[in-house]
Amino acid sequence: MPMPAASSSSSSSSSSAVEIPDCYRPRDPILVRPRHDTPHHTLYLSNLDDQHFLRFTIKYLYAFRREVPTDTLVASLAEVLVHYYPLAGRLRPASGNGDKFELDCNGEGALLAEAFADGLTADKFIAGSSTPNKSWRKLLCRVDSQSFIGVPPLVVQVTRLSCGGMILCAAINHCLCDGIGSSQFLRAWALLTVNPDSALPVAPFHDRRILEPRRPPRIAFPHPEFTAPEAPPVPSQFLFSEPLLPVSLTFTSAHILRLKRRSAPSLKCTSFEVLAVHIWRAWVKSLHPPPSSQIPIKLLFSADARRRLIPELPDGYYGNGFVLACAETTARDLLASSACYGVELVQEAKARVSNEYVRSMVDLLEERRAKPDLASSLVISPWTKLGLEDVDFGEGRPLHVGPVTSEIYCLFLPVIGDLHAFTVLLSMPHGLADRFREHCKENLEDDDDGDGDREAKNWVN
């Protein structure tokens, strides 16, 4: 059976990733304002929105076979911003609390740039699109600003390719949208591009006060996702000891089936659960802890809380409706036990995300501006099941969906054309990248899986 399709290693990453040429911009970026007047007010950001570790933009990259005229995209963006008018506003420090943000819904507009990349075709990009590199930053215009809040919540660049295709990058402020909300907005924009008179299938719900803290706050649970060790943990010593290298591996549905059969045969588990544990174990193994190590190790992953709250968050809620679930153990116990042990930890972490747990977390963030423990944790953010690959501006679905850059946290990305496959992308220290890839191949060798083997043989490394 072919191993997971690996796109990078310590020797080949830079050569396998496509280099973006310098892009020519015929005019300065423009501000796209809502087409009609929109409410002008201050939007409260919940404690889940305004976490310090979310003060960045999520940078989405789409590659399309055929381009859409800029005027058409500008017109539909102006139309969709009538519905999603907070994305045309600006962040500012909250009144009376400079450490907290709020949003001034002033209709100032989203920033949109048009660029041309001579010599770059869609096919050339797709051939080298598995791992981002620094040159990809040319696909998103840089905003000169003294601070994070000076950057518009929505920045878009449309890059025209020499083959008639386009790459569309959208940077969306994470304080305003999570992955579900970003996908909801992007699909609404695409819908109005195709049919400007369409009614949105889901109306955006703007109010974030449904997630206000309780009075008085009640922190009813320990929250290990925010508990940092007293001494610098061993993982951080490795992870920040040398330059990082993006590593990308694609796991087919046959790989996932094999992991379930071999790693957790006695458990009913999801594809995410078994793959998350497989990656977690490979990550810990690549750090090569001592066999008797009592190093605390965590797996943090985003868990959607929309349907876990009482009352549930309304349909169309596009703010941050997720929390970080935390599976915690020691390096020794994780590696000495079967994968079933890790899967059970992940399932227990998911089960803890109840209404009371989320409310307790919101109250904790009200009392202190807690930050997640990233020093001893692998963080997984799943972009699968969000519908990002369904964005179609009228000239066909994307050939590629992914981030503009690779980070030290791990992304589970959709595979175009296969709803049951995952591409795993994260950055590892240069000297550990090959070791990590090799550990990811464990438990995926040939056996008699029948249909699974036949499916896997259709994939090329």
What is the amino acid identity at position 459? W
Round to whole Å and give the CA distance between 409 and 428.
9
Strands 154-161 and 110-117: parallel
**Is 392 a known active-site residue?**
yes
Spatial contact of 90 and 151, defined as CB atoms under 8 Å apart: no
- Determine the Cα–Cα distance for residues 77 and 61; give it in Å rounded to an integer: 17
Catalytic residue (choose from 392, 418, 449, 453)? 392
Q: Say if strands 377-382 and 410-415 run parallel, antiparallel, or are unpaired.
A: parallel
Beta-strand runs (E) in 129-253: 154-161, 166-173, 244-251
Q: Which of 49, 50, 83, 174 is catalytic?
A: 174
Helix 253-263 to helix 271-287 angle, to the nearest 10 degrees?
80
C-beta neighbour count of 40 within 10 angstroms: 11
Q: In what order do the strands lie in the sheet containing 110-117?
A: 30-32, 110-117, 154-161, 166-173, 57-64, 400-403
Residue 333: Cβ within 10 Å count? 14
Contacts of 169 (CB under 8 A, 6+ apart): 59, 60, 61, 62, 139, 140, 156, 157, 159, 404
Residue 439 annotated among the catalytic residues of the structure: no
Question: To which residue do tokens 């009392």 refer?
Answer: 367
Output the CA torsion sign for 288, 290, 291, 295: negative
3-class secondary structure, 250: strand
Question: What CA–CA distance (Å, rounded) separates 366 from 362?
Answer: 6
> CA dist 169 to 64, 89, 174, 322, Å?
11, 19, 15, 24
Please return the burial class of 139, using the count of CB atoms within 10 Å of its CB with bins 0-12, 13-18 and 19+.
Answer: buried
Omega of the bond leading into 311 within 30 degrees of 0 (cis) = yes
Angle, CA of 138, 141 and 145, to the nearest 5°: 130
Q: So which residues are the catalytic ones?
A: 174, 392
